[in-house]
Amino acid sequence: MDAIILQLLNGLDKGGAYALIALGLTLVFGTLGVVNFAHGALFMLGAFCAVSIQSLLTISKQVKDESITFFDAYKEQPYLEIWWGDTGTAIIDWAVPLSIFLAIPIMLLIGVAMERGLIRHFYKRPHAEQILVTFGLAIVIQEIVKSFFGANPIPTPSPEIVAGSANIGLLLGLGESVVYPWWRLVYLLFSGIVIFAVFAFLQFTTFGMVVRAGMQDRETVGLLGINVERRFTVVFGIAAVVAGLAGVMYAPILPPDYHMGMDFLVLSFVVVVVGGMGSLGGAVSAGFLLGILQSFASMTEVKSIIPGIDQIIIYLVAVVILLTRPRGLMGRKGVMED
Amino acid sequence: MSIPAIRNDWAVMAIFTVAVLTAPLWLAPIGANYPDLLQKFAIFGIFAIGFNILFGLTGYLSFGHAVFLGVGSYTAVWSFKLLTMNVLPAVVFGTLMGGVFAVLIGYVSLRRSGIYFSILTLAFAQMSYNLAYSVLTPITNGETGLQITMNDARILDGPVGDGLPSTTLFGLEMSGYSGFYFCATMLIIAFFISLRIFRSPFGLKLKAIKSNQTRMKYTGFNTRPYLLVAFVISGMFAGLAGSLMAITDPLAGAERMQWTASGEVVLMTILGGTGTLIGPLLGVGIIKYFENIFSALNEAGLHEFFAFMPDWLENIVVAVSSEFVGEGWHLTLGVLFMLVVIFLPGGVMEGIRRTTAVVRNLSKGPEKKAAESVGKE
Amino acid sequence: MSDDKKTSELSRRGFIKVSAAAMAAASSPMFFTKGAWAANEFRNNPGDASSVKFGFNVPQTGAYADEGADELRAYQLAVKHINGEGDGGMLNTMKPLSLKGNGILGKKLEYVTGDTQTKSDAARASAKRMIEKDGVVMITGGSSSGVAVAVQGLCQEMGVVFMAGLTHSNDTTGKDKRRYGFRHFFNAYMSGAALGPVLEKEMGKERRAYHLTADYTWGWTQEESIKNTTEALGWETVAAVRTPVGAGDFSQYITPVLNSGADVLILNHYGKDMINSLTQAVQFGLRDKQVNGKNFEIIVPLFSRLMAQGAGDNIKGILGSTNWHWSLQDDGSKAFVKSFWQEYGFPPSQAAQTCYVQALLYADAVERAGTFYPPEVIKTLEGHTFDGMGNGPTEYRAADHQCFKDVLVVRGNENPSSQFDLLKVEQIVPRSQVEYDPAIFGGDLGPYEV
Amino acid sequence: MSESNIVLNIRNVNKTFGGLHALGDINLEIEEGKTHAIIGPNGAGKSTLLNVCIGRLVPDSGTVEFEGQNMIGMQPHEINHAGMVRVFQTPEIFPDLSVIENVMVPALAKRDGIFKFNAFSSMAGEKQIADEALHVLEDLGLGALVNQHAGSMSRGDKRRLELAMGLIQHPRLLLLDEPTAGMARHDTNRTIDLLKKIKERGMTKIIIEHDMHVVFSLADTISVLAQGCIIASGTPDEIRGNPKVQEAYLGGAEL
């Protein structure tokens, strides 16, 4: 029983991450009609926002290490700690949450620049060419990050206060053995908030109304004399911000490296398509569904019945859903079907 | 339009054959004339030509085509292990097995179109890759890859002598240049088949499906079998390419089936020019050249290359260009993808078409142009 | 031109077949001596050329790109030292030493590089380019066992010596060993053997271990080796769960550990998998846990400093083994670290050390053999004993081409004095303790002549 | 009239979309060799009726018998090969092919059936099909455009191409959905002449049309559809004089 609750939590947590990444992707699909293979790179850039903030905050004074005799080695002490003592240490400790505030404007800027500079010119081009250009862009972004930060993952710990595990078993009266990392609970909450915010934004603002209308029927909205172009730019910016935030918050769970975007790219496409093209709700439900199924498939009990099931579960579910529901969970007819 | 076209096709074949067979000569100046790279050009050429029959003609974007490549390779190595080191059974079985898998995957995936089709093919390929890498290790030898060993059965060959046997075509070893010429022959045959398909009524119907599938149904065609046949043909091409990989280098690894490998052939085809006969081959040439030659350049090599410059300039040029070679070859490839698709929608073939148009215009000469403009008035 | 090359290659092949047969009949060692006519006919014979080339085949893209870059730095340093430039590094400490600092057999050493991408196909393609186009006499490098086995097999077919880089699987010099392949790096068996006594001392004989294992050949061999060791100590293996390579989030594999009754978690992961699974395991509070009245422990059998960097603070206090560490105080290590530091401004990784040593060992073997003729070089390396290269007295065992030397048991440093000071050498386990019978892994080296 | 003369027999066809009654109990008989026009205001269900005939929509109830064979549940391509061919209102051409190829594809369908793997014969050898296509195109005044890219043609030319694609299959029954909509007067007249010529060859046609000039030039019989029901059927003269029709459709205006 405890094992099941824990796997459910794992699944929700994974699902939150999948949903956040897929949300931006499907938004761009649905409104702009662009297959964005650089979306994973945006997720990665978000994570590197956290890395950058952390390294900015820990710019250090180098002191020669006398214990090493046969060459010159240096000890490092961050200036923040030298100047402000414990306050400095605390600020460094909170680098990841602090990065959120920086990541929002930066990712918005990157998103807008990408849309204005490149994506805009590909609205009417065939999907194949969108794939090639965004894939090229993803590689370029990746290589630039690699040349600054190297190929190795960079540790970006969460604040000390949420570093350990919460005994939610005790909190909920389920017994002592249900413990779960605080940061993962924070992540789950955070993804819920972001998903809710995006939905609320689309539901309750006039801007959101136009975007939703655009997802239904792009041409008509254009005919209404609404400046769709500028709204598209903003939509792309929002997608970039959501992906970026997913990246920032994921950094303590998965130490960021330059290639992490590619690792998530295929998965996020599967999530979006299983959810149904152009459906935000579909993407979110598919994200959680796949996350939970993946967690349960990894249980030893399940693996002993079907060996290797945890390796293929996501794809297997994708195949089953696409064969039983032609347009995924909530897809609409005619979107990206040709 | 009929008779000149036929003569034209034979001319295309003749030029193509000569170009492929003399590749070791004309690729020498750019350092791409060593056997392994030549073999890779030919093998991936077959792969891309086959992919183009599906994607270029019908518009169905398979994102899991590498699975057939992998299956072809595994089958070929098993043929070496169980039957004989002769390459002919390997080629036949590899191609057929590619076809069998294509029938299975195609039959299911073609129930959907557009991106749903792409994701279905991707899902099948990723499942195959993940299983081959781990659970199916008894068949695939997992991460290490399936290799031939001393104690394989090889029932048609009898006991081996000292050391591992090589792949042969009735005694002719299939490594080095002989391996290339074998692959080249296959490439020429594959190109010929592709050319015939492009020019045939069948090909026209496939193009019509790409252009407007709904209309095809009301025109009296059952489009599903057409798509399945195209899918299977391109799967068999991939199987053939896979078996040739195993023939020139008898090791088959699971990563051949990973999505990145499927993505590579997509990129090759789009980069060269989707739906054109030669385009995919150009895409193959560019990507494989970057992967093998650009990745191998290092600063020492660059200094040699730019030695004619004054020292200070040489240093700057080397510093800048070294970001793009060696470990930076991915960056160059990414930039290239973007440039090509931004400036040449339609790929490299589009660039060639534009260039020839410009040249033709120039060669027309000013008088003719003047005459034309007068005529317009 | 191409046709010339083709025929010459064909005739060479046929020629060697015939000579191999003749040799088998004669089986005279004299046949291989210097200046014998057979020694003049082999692939990429430098002949009278004034220079020879090595092929450095390292991952330049992908997850191990940093490790590959460090390997390449080490190789470039080795080339300098062999050519008599720089301060000579380990040439000052290596015993015995035949190299004279004037290249190899008087020929200047040059090199070509290639990208393995940590993929068998790409690594083999790159190696083939080096052999067919660049005419290298030796190939070295790599950062994974799959690549090492793949390239080693190719080198056997092509008749070019392969000096493996970082590869830890038992298979490389076990089931998949090759006459033309040599490994200086230690292996999973040695990790287990070295860790055993330390684990016993630290954690006692009554422990319940839970394995998380990367689901491919290297992971399996390590799991097997560590299991053999710990079960011999009397530990119980609660479960051994296979995880997909590149899983990223390991939470679904970690939560079952929590209530399994296990009190030790063994992570048979390397690279990104190791960084992620360790980081997440610590987040799940495993290290703060008390199970069966004991402190819960995590063990990472194969450590590397580059990977430790990625795991950050999570590595602190965790036990593992490693091939070499820059803080070693023997003369060889000090000489190498000093010249590496001077050249690049930071200390070398264990991958760099093994690659540097491999390049030197090959060059030295050629110098001693007096020829580049591979069978001769191989015979010179087989059974070669040497010292002064950082791991104590070392032997290249003839039976499986595995180096036998001291193994380091390390622990994540609780109070690092610098960003490089992440691992503390806990114990230098003597070579005698990690030796084993080559027969246990099977395999067949294959012929000298190909 | 005898049963054998009836080419298309629509019996009690009903179709609803959600709550909307698109087709209500339609009964219609089309005689061989005749041209039957269906007229009616927008949204009367004319296109829905054609879609039911060619298998794009399945009716809730009723039968569509074509030459004695029930078409309900048959695939569109099977209906095509039975001899019922539709010419679409919004041009459903192959925009990426050349004009002549657009016409050769349906010709191939007629010859090759629903599937034929003729991958190794050359299009260049399909002289008969090419000549036939050229002939039809010239008939429709598209002779000068044969090698043009179909997607870049004017809308009117696309309509005519659409017609050519239907005609080349020599259907037993041709369903024309507003064949002259969007055409200039000159082209309309030309199309009328052509359709008259076809009629002389004995091809049966159903024609949906707004242009009364076209309807009265071509139709032998006319049905008037309003709100999914046939409110009148008869010869042009009968329809012209029917007050119900004038009421419902023509708003009392004189035809």
- The CATH number assigned to the domain holding C236 equals 3.40.50.2300
Q: Are residues C134 and C172 in the same domain?
A: yes
Whether B308 is in a domain gets the answer no
B/e letters for C58-84, b = 16+ CB within 10 Å, e = fewer, are bbbbbbbbbbbbbbbbbbbbbbbbbbe
Q: Are residues C304 and C368 in the same domain?
A: no
For residue D16, pLDDT over 80 is answered with yes
Q: What is the pLDDT of residue C378?
A: 96
Q: Are residues C196 and C277 in the same domain?
A: yes
Whether C42 is in a domain gets the answer no
B/e letters for D135-145, b = 16+ CB within 10 Å, e = fewer, are ebbebbbbeeb
Q: Are residues D249 and D215 in the same domain?
A: yes
Between C18 and C84, the higher pLDDT residue: C84
Q: Closest to C153 (Cβ–Cβ): which among B147, B150, B296?
A: B147
For residue C377, pLDDT over 70 is answered with yes
Query: Which residues of A20-124 form beta strands (DSSP E)?
Result: 60-65, 73-78
Domain hosting residue C132, numbered range = 49-184+328-405
Between A224 and B363, the higher pLDDT residue: B363
Between B371 and B69, the higher pLDDT residue: B69
Question: In B, which residues are within 8 Å of D123 by CB distance?
Answer: 199-201, 203-204
| Pair type for strands C264-268 and C297-302 | parallel
Percent of chain C scoring above 70 in pLDDT: 91
CB contact under 8 A, C418 and A155: no
Backbone angles phi, psi at C287, to 5 degrees: -75, -20
Between the two ends of chain C, the Cα-to-Cα distance in Å is 25
Q: What is the pLDDT of residue B373?
A: 43
Token readout for A338 is: 């040709």
Q: What is the pLDDT of residue A335?
A: 64
The alpha carbon of residue C258 is apart from the nearest alpha carbon of chain B, in Å, by 26
The DSSP string of chain D is: --GGGEEEEEEEEEEEETTEEEEEEEEEEEETT-EEEEE-STTSSHHHHHHHHTTSS--SEEEEEETTEE-TT--HHHHHHHTEEEE-SS----TTSBHHHHHHHHHHHHHH-S-----SS-GGG-HHHHHHHHHHHHHTT-GGGTTSBGGGS-HHHHHHHHHHHHHTT--SEEEEESTTTT--HHHHHHHHHHHHHHHHTT-EEEEE-S-HHHHHHH-SEEEEEETTEEEEEE-HHHHHH-HHHHHHTSTT---
Question: In C, which residues are within 8 Å of A298 by CB distance?
Answer: 252-253
For residue B194, pLDDT over 90 is answered with yes
Q: What is the Cα–Cα distance from A256 to A53, expressed in whole angstroms?
A: 13
Q: Are residues D218 and D163 in the same domain?
A: no
Q: Are residues C394 and C340 in the same domain?
A: yes
Question: In C, which residues are within 8 Å of A164 by CB distance?
Answer: 283, 285, 288
Q: Are residues C174 and C194 in the same domain?
A: no
Between C123 and D242, the higher pLDDT residue: C123
How far is residue D68 from each of residues D7, D50, D76, D171, measured CA to CA in Å? 8, 18, 17, 16
For residue A55, pLDDT over 50 is answered with yes
Q: Are residues D32 and D135 in the same domain?
A: no
Q: What is the pLDDT of residue D33?
A: 86
Between B202 and A73, the higher pLDDT residue: B202
| Pair type for strands B146-147 and A73-78 | unpaired
| pLDDT tens per residue across span B138-148 | 899 888 888 88
Q: Is the ipTM here above 0.90?
A: no
Q: What is the pLDDT of residue B7?
A: 59
Q: What is the pLDDT of residue C11?
A: 44
Domain hosting residue B37, numbered range = 16-292
For residue D216, pLDDT over 60 is answered with yes
Q: Closest to B173 (Cβ–Cβ): which among C13, C113, C449?
A: C13
Q: What is the mean pLDDT of chain C?
A: 87
Q: Are residues C237 and C115 in the same domain?
A: no
Per-residue pLDDT band for B115 (boundaries 50, 70, 90) equals confident
Whether B312 is in a domain gets the answer no
Question: In A, which residues are within 8 Å of B270 by CB distance?
Answer: 128-129, 131-132
Lowest mean pLDDT among A261-270, B116-125, C245-254, D242-251: D242-251
Whether B274 is in a domain gets the answer yes
Q: What is the Cα–Cα distance from B366 to A15, expressed in whole angstroms?
A: 67
Q: What is the pLDDT of residue C12?
A: 45
Q: What is the Cα–Cα distance from A256 to C279, expressed in whole angstroms?
A: 12
Q: Are residues D124 and D165 in the same domain?
A: yes
Contact residues for C174 (Cβ-Cβ < 8 A; gap 6+): C187, C221, C400, C440, C441, C442, C443
Q: What is the number of alpha carbons within 13 Å of residue C92 lying toward its C-beta?
A: 15
User: Are the C-beta atoms of B155 and B171 separated by less than 8 Å?
Assistant: no
Q: What is the pLDDT of residue C21?
A: 42
For residue A7, pLDDT over 70 is answered with yes
Q: What SS3 class is residue B149?
A: coil
Q: What is the Cα–Cα distance from B301 to B298, expressed in whole angstroms?
A: 5
Counting the structural domains of chain B, the total is 1
Q: Are residues C303 and C230 in the same domain?
A: yes
Domain hosting residue D156, numbered range = 89-170
For residue A224, pLDDT over 80 is answered with no
For residue B374, pLDDT over 60 is answered with no
Whether B151 is in a domain gets the answer yes
The alpha carbon of residue B290 is apart from the nearest alpha carbon of chain D, in Å, by 33
For residue C16, pLDDT over 60 is answered with no
Q: What is the Cα–Cα distance from A23 to C234, expressed in whole angstroms?
A: 51
Per-residue pLDDT band for A223 (boundaries 50, 70, 90) equals low
Whether D188 is in a domain gets the answer no
Q: What is the pLDDT of residue A253?
A: 92
Q: What is the pLDDT of residue B153?
A: 83
Whether C5 is in a domain gets the answer no
Q: What SS3 class is residue B172?
A: strand
Whether B192 is in a domain gets the answer yes
Q: Are residues D10 and D24 in the same domain?
A: yes
Q: What is the pLDDT of residue C6?
A: 41
CB contact under 8 A, C251 and A295: yes
User: Are the C-beta atoms of C236 and C209 separated by less than 8 Å?
Assistant: yes
Q: Are residues D31 and D137 in the same domain?
A: no
Q: What is the pLDDT of residue D249?
A: 62
Q: What is the mean pLDDT of chain A?
A: 87
Query: Which residues of B25-144 form beta strands (DSSP E)?
Result: none
For residue A28, pLDDT over 80 is answered with yes
Query: Which residues of chain A form beta strands (DSSP E)?
Result: 60-65, 73-78, 165-166, 180-181
Lowest mean pLDDT among B94-103, B161-170, C30-39, C160-169: C30-39
| pLDDT tens per residue across span C348-370 | 999 999 999 999 999 999 999 99
Q: Are residues C167 and C80 in the same domain?
A: yes
Q: What is the pLDDT of residue B59?
A: 92
Per-residue pLDDT band for A176 (boundaries 50, 70, 90) equals low
User: Are the C-beta atoms of C264 and C299 separated by less than 8 Å?
Assistant: yes
Q: What is the pLDDT of residue B160?
A: 67
For residue B291, pLDDT over 80 is answered with yes
Q: What is the pLDDT of residue C89?
A: 92
Contact residues for A127 (Cβ-Cβ < 8 A; gap 6+): A35, A336, B61, B115
Per-residue pLDDT band for C40 (boundaries 50, 70, 90) equals low
Q: Are residues D21 and D142 in the same domain?
A: no
For residue D14, pLDDT over 50 is answered with yes
Backbone angles phi, psi at A334, to 5 degrees: 85, -5
For residue A232, pLDDT over 50 is answered with yes
Neighbours of A294 (CB within 10 A): 24
Whether C431 is in a domain gets the answer no
Q: Mutate which of B115, B120, B335 to disrupt the A interface (most A C-beta within 10 Å)?
A: B115
Q: Last residue of a domain, which of C322, C355, C383?
A: C322
Q: What is the Cα–Cα distance from D254 to D242, expressed in whole angstroms?
A: 11
Fill in the DSSP letter of residue C235: -
| pLDDT tens per residue across span C300-312 | 999 888 888 888 8
For residue B301, pLDDT over 90 is answered with no
Lowest mean pLDDT among B161-175, C1-15, C421-435, D188-202: C1-15
* Interchain contact B291–C (C-beta under 8 A): yes
Q: Are residues C348 and C317 in the same domain?
A: no
| pLDDT tens per residue across span C129-163 | 999 999 999 999 998 898 999 999 999 989 999 99
Question: In B, which residues are within 8 Å of C128 by CB distance?
Answer: 34-36, 249
Q: What is the Cα–Cα distance from C361 to C301, expressed in whole angstroms?
A: 27
| pLDDT tens per residue across span C163-197 | 999 999 999 999 999 999 999 999 999 999 999 99
Q: What is the pLDDT of residue A126?
A: 85
For residue C76, pLDDT over 90 is answered with yes
Q: Mutate which of A75, A182, A310 to disrupt the C interface (most C C-beta within 10 Å)?
A: A310
| Pair type for strands C403-404 and C407-412 | unpaired
Lowest mean pLDDT among B49-53, B128-132, D138-142: D138-142
For residue C48, pLDDT over 90 is answered with no
Q: Closest to B208 (Cβ–Cβ): which among D97, D117, D119?
A: D97
Structural element, H or E, at residue A228: helix A228-250
For residue B186, pLDDT over 60 is answered with yes
Q: How many CB pairs under 8 A join A and B?
A: 128
Q: What is the pLDDT of residue A128?
A: 82
| pLDDT tens per residue across span D135-179 | 999 988 888 998 999 999 888 888 889 989 998 998 989 999 888
Counting the structural domains of chain D, the total is 2
Backbone angles phi, psi at D171, to 5 degrees: -70, 155
Question: In C, which residues are within 8 Å of A295 by CB distance?
Answer: 251-252
| pLDDT tens per residue across span C258-302 | 888 899 999 999 988 999 999 999 998 888 888 888 899 999 999
Whether B272 is in a domain gets the answer yes
Percent of chain B scoring above 90 in pLDDT: 59
Q: Are residues C311 and C339 in the same domain?
A: no
Whether D195 is in a domain gets the answer no
Per-residue pLDDT band for B234 (boundaries 50, 70, 90) equals very high
Whether B201 is in a domain gets the answer yes
Per-residue pLDDT band for B371 (boundaries 50, 70, 90) equals very low
Per-residue pLDDT band for C34 (boundaries 50, 70, 90) equals very low
CB contact under 8 A, D108 and B217: no
Q: Last residue of a domain, which of C295, C322, C349?
A: C322
Q: What is the pLDDT of residue B80?
A: 93
For residue B37, pLDDT over 70 is answered with yes
Q: What is the pLDDT of residue C10?
A: 41
Q: Are residues C229 and C296 in the same domain?
A: yes
Q: What is the pLDDT of residue A337?
A: 65
Percent of chain A scoring above 90 in pLDDT: 46
